[in-house]
Amino acid sequence: MLDQHQIAELNKIAKAMVAPDKGILAADESMPTIGKRFTSLGIENSEENRRAYRETLFTTPGIEEFLGGIILFDETIRQKASDGRMFTQILQEKGIIPGIKVDQGTEPLPNSPQEKITKGLEGLPGRLADYVILGAKFAKWRAVITIGAGTPTDECIQENAKRLAEYALDCQQAGIVPIVEPEVLLDGDHKSERCEEATTRILKALFAELKNKGVALEGLILKPNMVLSGKDCQVQASVKEVAEATLRTLKVAVSAEVPGVAFLSGGQDDVLATARLNEMNKIGGFPWQLTFSFSRGLQNLPMKIWAGKQENIEVAQKAFSHRAKLNSLARQGKYSEALEKEI
């Protein structure tokens, strides 16, 4: 069991990650994932290009106004900028907290192979100890839940919840704040009601497991999906409907002790993701900091502009800063689509 001093330290870090007006950048794409995005833009998926791209993001002037934390990948946390400074040093000098993705991807669920469970618990305490030395203050573990014929199954939900809780406890014992990320995927033609049902089920199971393991809820961040219609659904829920359904789900399933809820973008359109976050904060009436932990929702345009060319860095950084600023405004319920044109 953690003592009160350890819990207080974790709570302090968690609160700083989701400080008012700030969110979290997910820059933890695996080599194959970022490779797909690079390939689609005609960028070679080399270590140097990955390093140069992350340097473009991390050295963007003023980004610390909008970001409390950045999630790194194993390769990235070991890399240096072109001036010789470690990326973690650059972030810390800006007052941005470095974090690390620690799960090792997914594997098929034995009794339901169309569903996935996340792996990476084996050897995790040792890896966390190494990441602490490298400067990580928080970690991330993602579970994926699919909606389909007969899915998600109870077994899939329970096993992913159990592994998320075990990971969270390992993190806290290492002095690292865990981001727990149960993602109900956007894939499918389901209506938003099915997403709300699945999201509620996984969140309730997750918090039951976290409490069962003795995880300190005040020392973690939840990173869930928003409640959305499947991407192939013919009738998409409105911005207001998404906001209301998502808040409904959180209020019935998420403990008030959790300092922050940082939504993943999960393939949403950049503008829509920001508008939906803004609508939730306009509605208000919840106990958590409600913020963003976007990957594509922050990087789509900057990556396209950068395109692997040094001469595009300044313009790409301006686009990145602008997108982060808009999401910071959405944190406050002060975003409007008219602001999209200000860049």
Active site members: 181, 223
DSSP string computed for 16-36: HHT-TT-EEEE----HHHHHH
One-letter identity of residue 5: H
DSSP string computed for 304-327: HHHTT-GGGHHHHHHHHHHHHHHH
Q: Which residues have C-beta within 8 Å of that of residue 123, sequence separation ≥ 6?
A: none
DSSP string computed for 92-139: HHHTPEEEEE----EEEETTEEEEEEE---TTHHHHHHHHHHHT--EE
Preceding peptide of 152 cis, ω within 30°: yes
**DSSP code of residue 80:** B
Alpha-carbon distances, residue 229 vs 110, 216, 243 (angstroms):
28, 32, 12
